[in-house]
Amino acid sequence: MHLTKIEIQGFKTFAKKTTLSFLPPTTERCPITAVVGPNGSGKSNLADAIRWVLGEQSLKLLRGKQSEDVIFSGSEGKGRAGFAEVSLTMNNEDGSMPIEYGSITITRRLFRDGTSEYLLNDSKVRLTDIQLLLAQANVGQRSYSVVGQGMIDHILISTPEERKAFFDDATGVKPYQIKRHEAVLKLKRTHENLADVEMLLREIEPRLRSLKRQASRLEQRDEIEQSLHLQEAQYYGHGWWTLADQLDIVKKDFDRADLDIKRERAELVEQEKAADAIEVVDEKEDTGLMKLQEAYRNVQRKQNALRQDQFQTEKEIELTRVRAQSNWAPLPLLKIVEEVGSITDGLKGLRSLKDIETIYTTIDELLSRSSTLRKKLERPNPEDIKPDPKLVQKLADLKGQEVGIKQELLDFETQIDAYATKEKTERTELIEMQKALREKQRQIHLFENRRNELQINLARFEERQQALIREMNEFMKDRAVEVRSTRPAEPLNQADQVYQEIQRLRYKLELIGGIDPEILKEYEETRVRHEFLDGQVDDLKKAIRDTEKVIVELDTQIEQQSKAVFGKINKEFEHYFKLLFGGGSCRLVKLTREDVEEESLSDGVTPDRAFADTGEEARDKEAEIAKKLEKHQDPVMGIDIQATPPGKKLKALNLLSGGERALTSIALISAIMAVNPSPFVLLDEVDAALDESNTVRFAGILQELSKNSQFIVVTHNRATMEQADVMYGVTMTDEGISQLISVHLEDIANGATARR
C-alpha cells in the first residue's frame, strides 16, 4: 500500500486545486519525496492537510482557533473560499485496508456553515469508519505517520498516557484499542442503563407490591361477593317465599273470618228487625224493658269501640316488635373485635388471692358485658323485644275497661232476665228473641276476636314482607327482583346457619373495604412494566457479560501483540540511539496504573479534585460504575522513556538539550518504523534542530527505512534533499496563494527543467 496523490482545494493557503503526485515503489525501495520552499510559503500547510484529511479534530494541532480557519480566508486579489477539501488517494492492491477496492480515496470536506462530511470513494461514511480502516492499515493522524513541525520532541515531553496512544499505533494494536475503547464505552453505557433500570425497579416494586395486595384483595372480594350473592339468593329466596306462603294462608283465613262475620251480622240484622217489630207492638205496654234493652245496646256499642281500640293497640305493639326485629343490624366486625379485646383484658393483672373480691366483681361485670354482646350479635325474637311502655299501659287500661264493661253487660242481662220472668207468658217470644240476639252478638264477638287476631298476624306478615323487601333491595339491588319472581327449586335447610354465613361474608367485605376497580388495570400495567424492566435487566446483564468477554479477548490479543512488538521496538530504539549519538543507552518502560496515579498525586491531582464539580448523586453513580469497570482498565497506563547520551549519567528527558531531544525522538520514530512500518510517513522539518553531521546520519536512516515506508519530507537541509527522488517546491504568489513546482531529480540529471 502506498500514497499515489494528494488533492487540495480551499485548504488554508492552497486556494486553487492543487495536486501532489507520488512515484510508485520499486522492488528495492519506496521513493522519497521532499517538499522545500522559503519560510511562510505554505509547506507546513501541506502536512496540516494530510493530518486533517486523516481525521484530526484538534484545532490546536492544525494551528487554528475555530474550524473555519482551515478554509482559505481570501486575500487582496482573491476572494475567500466557501469550503475546504482534501483528498488522499492510496493504492490498496496489496489489501492492507480490508476493503474491496484497489484504489482508495479518502476525502474530507468542510463548508463555512459548519457542515462537514467524510467520503470514502465518494460515498459518505463516519469518521469512526475512516479511523478504523486507517488503524487496520497502520496509518493514523496522531501516530508517527504524520510528524508535524515542532512535534519531533512532542513524544518526549508528552505525558505517559499520551505516549501510550502513540505506542498503540507503533505496536499495531490500534485497531484492537479502538474496538476495546468502543466496547468499554458500550459497557459503561450498559452499566449506566442497568443502574437506571434497577433504580426504576426499586421505585416500582413497593407500588407493585401494594397494588398486588389490593388486586389480591379485589380478587378475593369478587370470590366473596359471588359466594355472598349465592347465599343471599338462597336465604332471601327461602325467606321471601316462606313468608309469601304464610301471608297467603293468613289472608285466606282472614277472608273466611270476615265472611263469617258478615254472615252473622246479616242474621243479626234480620233478628233485630224481627225484635224491633215485636217491640213496636208492645212499646206502649212496657217501656221499662225497652229502656233496659237500649241501655244494654249502648254498652255493647261502647264495648265494640273499646275492642276496636284494644285491637289497634295490640296491632301497634306487634308492628313495633316486627319493625324492631327488621331494623336490627349486627355490630361491625371492628366493634366486635374491640369489645372482645376489652373483655379479654378485663382480668389482666388480677392473679393474687388478695384481689379475690375485685376478681368476683370483675367477673360479674364481664359476664354482664358478654351477655350484652351476645344479645347484640343475635337477631332478637319478636317476643323478646320490649314494646313502648305507653302502648303496654294503654292496652292494660283498655283491658281493664273491658272487664268493667263485661260486668256491666252481665248486670244488664241479669236485670233483663229478672224483669222478663215477671212478665206474662205472651211476652215469652220477645224475651227469647232478646236472648237469641245476645247469643248472636256473643258469637259475632268471638268471630271478631278471631278476625282481629288474623288481622294482627296479617299486619305482622305484611310488615315483615315490606321489611324484607327493603333489606333485599338494600343488599341485593337488582338481583332482588329475580329472587322475588322465581320460587326456589328446593327448600332451604338450616336457614340460621346460612344467615350467619351471610353475616360472616359481609364482615369480610367490610374488612376488605372499598377498592377501586381501576386498581386491577393499574396493577396489570405496573406488572407488565415491571416484567419488561426485569427482562431489560436480564438483557443488560447478558450484554455486560458478552461485552466483558469481548474486552477480555481483545486484551489478550493486545497483550500478546504488544509484548512481542514492544521488545523489538526497545531493541531498535537502542540501535538507532547509539547510531545517532555514537553511543549511550536508552530504554522504554511500561508504567502501571499505580505508577501513573503516584505521579498524578505528586502533581497535586486527587480524585476529590477530579470530582469536585460533580453532584453528590451523580458522583456516587459514577463511582459505582467506575468500580465495576475497574477490572477492565488497561493495566498499562503509560510509557516512560529513559535516555542517557554518551558521557552522561542523566536519565530524565527534561534534562536533555534541544538537539539531544530531537535525536532521541528521531531514534525512537526510526525504531518504530523499522519494527512496524507505516505505508507512508510525512516528516515536517524534523531535522531542523540537527547539525550538519547529524543531518547526514538522519538522511542515511531515511534511505534505510525507505525500503518499507514511503517518506514525504518537508525540509531545509541539503543532505536530506539529496536523498529525495522527487522534490516539490512551494512558493507564495502575490495573491497569498501557495503554488507547487515539481522536480524529478532524475530528469534534472538528464537536463530537464522543473514543472508546475
Q: pLDDT-derived band of residue 84, with 50, 70 and 90 as boundaries?
A: very high
How is residue 247 written as a grid cell? 301471608
Rounded mean pLDDT, 394-417: 76
Q: In the predicted model, is pLDDT for residue 425 greater than 50?
A: no
- pLDDT at residue 284 in the model: 47
Per residue, what are the HEC states of 480-538?
Answer: HHHHHHCCCCCCCCCHHHHHHHHHHHHHHHHHHCCCCCHHHHHHHHHHHHHHHHHHHHH
| Continuous H helices in 582-656 | 593-602, 607-610, 616-629
- Asked if residue 247 lies in contact with residue 465, where contact means CB atoms within 8 angstroms, the answer is yes
Q: Which helix or strand (DSSP H or E) is residue 322 part of?
A: helix 287-326
DSSP of 696-717: HHHHHHHHHHTTTSEEEEE---
| Alpha-carbon gap, residue 544 to 542, rounded angstroms | 5
**5 compared with 421, residue with greater pLDDT:** 5
Which has the higher per-residue pLDDT, 406 or 341? 406
Q: How far apart are CA 554 and CA 560, in angstroms?
A: 10
pLDDT of res. 476: 85
Instruction: Identify which of 240, 211, 266, 287 has the alpha carbon closest to the alpha carbon of residue 518.
Output: 211
- Residue range 476-485, pLDDT digits in tens: 888 888 888 8
Q: Is the pLDDT of residue 621 over 90?
A: no
Task: List the grid coordinates of 154.
Answer: 512532542
- Domain positions in the chain are 1-145+678-756
Gap between the Cα atoms of 466 and 112, Å rounded:
94
Of 230 and 323, which is predicted with more confidence?
Answer: 230
- List, as one string, the DSSP characters of 36-73: E--TTSSHHHHHHHHHHHTT---TTTTT-SSGGGGB--
Question: Mean pLDDT throughout 98-103?
Answer: 87
Nearest CA-CA partner of 684 in 674, 694, 669? 669
pLDDT of residue 346: 62
CATH class in words for 1-145+678-756: alpha beta
Task: Name which of 668, 234, 296, 171 is nearest 493 in CA terms.
Answer: 234
Q: Answer whether residue 261 shows pLDDT above 70.
A: yes
Assess contact for 265 and 447: CB atoms under 8 A. Answer: no
C-alpha to C-alpha distance for 105 and 119, rounded to whole angstroms: 8
What is the rounded distance in angstroms from the CA atom of residue 754 to the CA atom of residue 535? 72
Considering 9-13, 216-220, 745-749, the range whose residues carry the highest mean pLDDT is 9-13
What's the mean pLDDT when you consider all of the chain? 79
pLDDT at 349: 60
pLDDT value of residue 379: 58
CA dihedral sign of residues 169, 173, 175, 179: negative
Rounded to a whole number, what is the largest CA-CA distance in the chain?
Answer: 196
- Judged against a pLDDT cut of 90, whether residue 118 lies above it is answered with yes
Angle at 280 between CA 276 and CA 283, to 5 degrees: 120
Given pLDDT bands bounded at 50, 70 and 90, which one contains residue 426?
very low
CA distance linking residue 287 with residue 279, whole number of Å: 10
pLDDT at 280 over 90: no
What 3-state DSSP class applies to 723?
coil
Considering the entire predicted model, what is its pTM? 0.50
Beta bridge partners of 124: 119
Give me the pLDDT at residue 403, please. Answer: 80
DSSP class of residue 24 equals P
pLDDT for position 609: 42
pLDDT higher than 70, residue 688: yes
Percent of the chain at pLDDT > 90 equals 6
**Rounded-to-integer distance, Cα 743 and Cα 21, Å:** 11
Bridge partners of 104?
Answer: 90
From the list 555, 483, 562, 556, the residue with the least C-alpha distance to 168 is 562
β-partners of residue 32 are 711
DSSP bridge pairs for 710: 680
Amino acid at position 445, single letter = H
pLDDT at 109: 93
**298 vs 185, residue with greater confidence:** 185
pLDDT value for 610: 40
- Asked if residue 433 has pLDDT above 90, the reply is no
Tell me: pLDDT of 143 over 70.
no
- Write out the three cell numbers for 332: 361491625
Percentage of the chain lying above the pLDDT 70 cut: 80
Tens-digit pLDDT profile for residues 449-501: 788 888 778 887 888 888 888 888 888 888 888 888 888 888 888 888 888 88
CA dist., res. 56 & res. 621, Å (int):
33
Mean of pLDDT values over 400-407: 78
The per-residue pLDDT for range 32-59, each reduced to its tens digit, is 999 998 888 888 888 889 889 888 888 8
**Degrees (nearest 5) of the Cα angle 92, 168, 58?**
85
Q: How far apart are CA 707 and CA 31, in angstroms?
A: 9
In one-letter notation, the amino acid at residue 582 is G
**Rg of the chain over CA atoms, in angstroms?**
60
pLDDT band at 86; cut points 50, 70, 90:
very high
Integer Cα distance of 235 and 555 in angstroms: 80
Determine the pLDDT at residue 332: 58
b/e 147-181 (16+ beta carbons within 10 angstroms → b): bbbebbbbbbebebeebbbbbbbbbbbbbbbbbbe
Spatial distance between the Cα atoms of 263 and 260, rounded to a whole number of angstroms: 5
Identify the weakest region by mean pLDDT among 9-23, 305-319, 324-338, 630-644.
324-338
Position 316 scores a pLDDT of 76
pLDDT at site 88: 92
Residue 638 has pLDDT above 60, yes or no: yes
DSSP state of 426: G
